[in-house]
Structure 1
């Protein structure tokens, strides 16, 4: 067996709250990503991984072709109407990227190509398009491009009447554009190139240099994200202010070239609200005196007095109000109760309402592509663990549904071959944790023999709903049971479920995941020696904590772009996603949070013990979790672990947080992960 790369140890002492920590691998941090020693170490790790998995190359190639072979090469998205045109994206052949087109009607007559992303990406190893935005007169297209994967975009403007780019070129942006209604100017956000925070809103006049742009708003509180949108009736521009525990919005008139932003309602710690305009009124989704949110209405005259707001959808203690959509005569709102989504259509004037029918016990449903206020139908996205992604239009007045498209899966796929379940697992403190399961009917026996692929996330209130995965078919068809553990830190069971998995309750996220594993083994959904676990980003933190706390439960782990050096990162305000995440993890400058973070931080809690087989992946240019976090984690694991199990670390030297760009390239990473697991079963 070849020798694993050995990292040198350079002790670096840090003292906080009179607590001394020594970090032997702090030297691995290089913000410039140009240090030759660090790059050489990453390349050595890549070479070691390639060598250790060289015997699986044939299987990786088979898996890649298998994964790719399920994808329809010539495909298009469901057209979305905006103004006089229908917009869609098309992919064809072996092209990695889509082509943006528009047509005169839903059927695609008089089609015009707006952007061919394949041409734009042709000279770049990495390419990501963001923020495509059509001007109100439909003659100009703004878009942002990132060729480094740092999520910093350069904005460009294309004249659709001449098919030529304008001279305007705006660097250092978030990639997002909102147009003024005069078609002569737009708003965009500049990012801090060190912390990557979106913090300055500028107005750009077409034909002028970026240096002449006017600063409209600057965020001085670094715990807030800033982003833009436009009201559905196109009369207002919104500047959103989002922190973990405060959400608010400032409003500008889209018709006034000299408009200045005005807070809709003051920012208050603990108060969250979002708005949508409807005629002369506003609908406000807020947690004001409502842990699980309520929908209220107000008008411009009364918006500053929250006591005058009226309930449109009253709060419930056991149901989370997640989303709403407005049409001329209808309100559509989405709730989640016991983890199950419901969508209700209400006629605004009469108050009469009905619920859309969903028949499976575990599924994903939501509103998507509802751009126009006068649309006669609400567009719904639907999927489950056995039902490929589907788009429906539900007529607002009748509830009649039309299936517009269901994702095709090439090959021998039939949903009848698979079974999904939703079960509840009792955690160690008595809480009931939902788990979504799927398996192939003809290979599953609840006798404790199947391998298990368990996925989790559990942070930021992000809920991982059970939806269809073409890639998972490669697992299911080989006898795996796939499970999503809906652990605390998500909002699967409402806002309290999130609150019980953040800050000083974060440990519940990790113990929930472990308890789900133990229960699935106990209930004989899987073999106790064939359990594999996967997570990425904050889910990579989950993996790091789990293998420290219960390494014996897992045969193999895949940890992608993992956030594992929690304390050091959260103490460094120059690193992206630090100050604006204090509300999620806590501020370690306060001793109570420092001590608690230190109790679970994966990097700080590595001990001399046996660990499972581990595959770690990252991207050199990752903007969310810096490459040096997994790099340090792997080095320290190599130093302290007492087993001979595989520890493999692969860095994509061209990619960032989202991995490789393009619709096929990323499948190589998935094939690598699956081959790593399959090899461990041999």
Structure 2
């Protein structure tokens, strides 16, 4: 089902394709940097390099009677050599400023690699007559996907990203769907980092890939015969809008459905039972589903219930019934059932009523039971519902804070449910839950060299928000820590799209914990930790709650003696980068260091530009600044416009030139304007990946660790 696209991270998408230019490579050389930028590289006897500055060009914007001169608007000219030179100069300045910390960064990189499971393998998951799994090998950046016969026999390589990415700057796998007979594989690849995937079909019997490929594909589903493939493609704004059927034998492609409403995106998936294909059209606030019979792929799709404002619903299937997760009875969703032969909404019957204390996030249907993924008290829980008796029970999960989610459950007729589990002190684990005897069998747990969970203390606390609401925090630190305010701390947050910020195991952050850090996560409003109401209280007109909640969490850490403002660092990415920008404007005195990743900081300009990916659909999350009332909400917190002449904490901002969700120019403009206004001497560094990488940075695991090590070195050398 379509979980919802986010300008933030954890699903999203963006801009249109032809983004690699020859100028990008031209200006990367030192001569290009020196000729076209304002940065001074340090001489051997210099004290510090001089920061680069971007040329200011008047660009007045008048909106609802407000005037704003956006003097760095021109930085969005991605093919302009002067822009590219400025970005390269920012990298050069950041390198010069961090030269002294390079030995520490190298040491940290060694620590991170030392905890990396360099030779690793996923738990095999059965699909038909085969077991599918992935493998990582020492020295290689990417996974290899393989399979072997369930009855025994040699393994077969399906997708090797190391080979496919040879000579590429970036490679990432998107779709991975095997036909019912196990003879065809549909998979997609992004070779730039723009989350723009090209679809390929591989004959697994002959081990050859078809010559035809399809660009800009977001989801796929096989028909039952393995000869027809359904796929969805994007429009120019990266909105998945057209569903096609591809007859592989003839090569004919037929348009099945086109979504005309720019707020909605289309996805396609096959039910676990194999009996139906679901074609879902969804916005942030409404959805509708069409049924396609995989045994009759050319038949006209059947609409289950037409969309209406505010109504979201999603489908699962078992036996003669469709199970409907719907919010028509309340924002936390209820569960209904209906006859697959006649699924009209008038015939829906309640299976599980709306619970104001628990968000029904997902439903997994199997032959004899359902597994409901519910979030209550900020934590995920699994409820197993017997389809014959109607009885149910909860799966026991042990810790006060954790992340749990369903894993690779491809088999429909089974009495097991596989799930992932981890916590800030429990490394990533895979379990099989045996439904009959209600026990969980541990199949795999990452072994982290030198890590002892008994050394660390995990707790949940609450901070009083400005309006009296209690905001949860997850906190981990060395056991026996004395709360005397002397400790360094890192506070993370997100708070948008109803997304619950995960409190899982962070292998890299062990390097900070071992150096005495307190690590905390603020579960602020706008996220989904406490259900739909928690999201509603931090979006649209109520968005300011997200930022004041985070400030309250920071103040609570200080009040309890975990840290002090000078020793408190904060971090967030994408919409979490918006959070960083907003709270730093509101309370710059409260933080010592800010680490901001691919930050959504130019809110008004981005949401005025309907040609950009995500903009129209996200009017339902942020508002539309063309509407004055909504503009007033947004301008009150938009980080770019609210920068002011005052002191700011030390800051490191990272982005990628090929980011498809938050365009590179947002942080570039933000940093340029901040440099022109800040009155302090604290470092302000901007790093941009010009070659490859997207919203999540590098694709390769060793490359990502290099960046993390550099960021930790900056943090450790900047915080007192």
Match of residue 17 from structure 1: 64
Residues 426-485 of structure 1: CA distance to partner in whole angstroms, max 9, x if unpaired?
11100010100111225x221111111000000000101321110110110000000000
Partner of 1:421: 459
Which of 176, 192, 196 is residue 132 of structure 1 equivalent to? 176
Number of aligned residues:
672
Structure 1 residue corresponding to 2:237, chosen from 195, 203, 208: 195
C-alpha distance in 1 between matches for 2:340 and 2:615: 36
The equivalent position to 1:84 in structure 2, one of 120, 129, 132, is 129
Deviations 1:73-122 (A, max 9, x none): 1111111111111100001111111111111239x743211121110011
- Shift of residue 302 of structure 1? 4.9
Q: CA deviation at 1:645?
A: 0.7
Structure 1 residue corresponding to 2:429, chosen from 358, 381, 390: 390
Aligned equivalents of 1:492 and 1:2: distance in 2? 44
Name the residue aligned to 2:673: 636
1:499-518 matched pairs, under 5 angstroms:
499-518=536-555
Q: Counterpart of 1:516 in 2: which secondary structure?
A: helix
Pick from 23, 38, 49 the counterpart of residue 83 of structure 2.
38
Asked if 1:223 is matched to 2:266, the reply is: no
Aligned with residue 396 of structure 2, among 357, 370, 382 = 357
Rounded Cα–Cα distance in structure 1 between residues aligned with 2:590 and 2:511: 23
SS at match of 1:132: strand
Give 1:208 deviation, angstroms: 5.2
Determine the structure 2 residue equivalent to 1:237.
277
1:296 corresponds to: 336
Instruction: Give 2:165's aligned residue.
Output: 121
Structure 2 residue 201 is matched with structure 1 residue 162: no
Q: Is the 2:565–2:589 Cα contact (8 Å) retained in structure 1?
A: no
Q: 1:511-561 CA distances to partner (integer Å, 9 max, x unpaired)?
A: 000110001101101133200000000000000001100000110000000
- Taking the TM superposition and a 5 Å limit, the aligned residue runs for 1:593-672 are 593-653=630-690, 654-672=692-710
1:330–1:396 contact (8 Å) kept in structure 2: no
Contact map agreement 1:182 1:255 (CA 8 A) in 2: yes
1:157–1:166 contact (8 Å) kept in structure 2? yes
Q: Is the 8 A contact 2:494 2:573 kept in 1?
A: yes
**Map of 2:319 onto structure 1:** 279
Matched, 1:325 2:331: no
Q: Which moved more, 1:200-209 or 1:95-104?
A: 200-209
Structure 1 segment 278-677 matched on structure 2, within 5 A: 278-300=318-340, 302-306=342-346, 308-410=347-449, 412-441=450-479, 444-653=481-690, 654-677=692-715
Q: TM-score, normalised by structure 1?
A: 0.96
Runs of 4+ in 1 over 3 A off after TM superposition: none
Mapped to 2, the partners of 1:238 and 1:351 lie a distance apart of: 25
Q: Matched residues in 1 for 2:249 and 2:662: separation?
A: 37
- Do the aligned residues in 2 keep the contact of 1:168 with 1:206 (CA within 8 Å)? no
Q: 1:341 offset after TM fit, Å?
A: 2.6
Residues 1:72 and 2:114 are matched in the alignment = no
SS at match of 1:453: strand
Structure 2 gap segments, 5+ residues each: 1-47
Distance in structure 1 (CA, Å) of the matches to 2:200 and 2:398: 45
Say whether the 8 Å CA contact 1:71–1:408 is kept in structure 2. Answer: no
Q: Is 1:364–1:382's contact at 8 Å kept on the other side of the alignment?
A: yes
What SS does the aligned partner of 2:212 have?
strand
CA RMSD between the two structures: 1.4
Quote the Cα distance in structure 1 between the aligned partners of 2:345 and 2:312: 15
Aligned with residue 26 of structure 1, among 73, 77, 97: 73
For CA contacts below 8 A with separation 6 or more, give which structure has more relative contact order.
2
CA drift of 1:173 comes to 2.1
C-alpha contact (below 8 Å) 2:370/2:387 kept by paired residues: yes
What 5-or-longer segments of structure 1 have no aligned partner?
none
Determine the C-alpha separation between the residues in 2 that align with 1:429 and 1:471: 36
Secondary structure class of the residue paired with 1:603: coil
**Alpha-carbon offset, residue 20 of structure 1:** 2.4
Deviation at 1:351, TM superposition (A): 2.1
Q: Which moved more, 1:199-208 or 1:573-582?
A: 199-208
Pairwise CA distance, 1:366: 2.0
TM-score (norm 2): 0.91
Q: More displaced, 352-361 or 215-224?
A: 352-361
1:392, CA displacement in angstroms?
0.7
- Cα contact 1:168–1:208 (8 A) shared by 2: no
Alignment of 1:228-267 (within 5 A): 228-267=268-307
Tell whether the 8 Å contact from 1:393 to 1:401 is kept in structure 2 after alignment. yes
Spell out, residue by residue over 1:317-362, the C-alpha distance to the aligned partner (whole angstroms, 9 max, x if none). 2222222222211122122222133222222111232221112111
Q: Distance in 1 between matches of 2:535 and 2:615?
A: 20
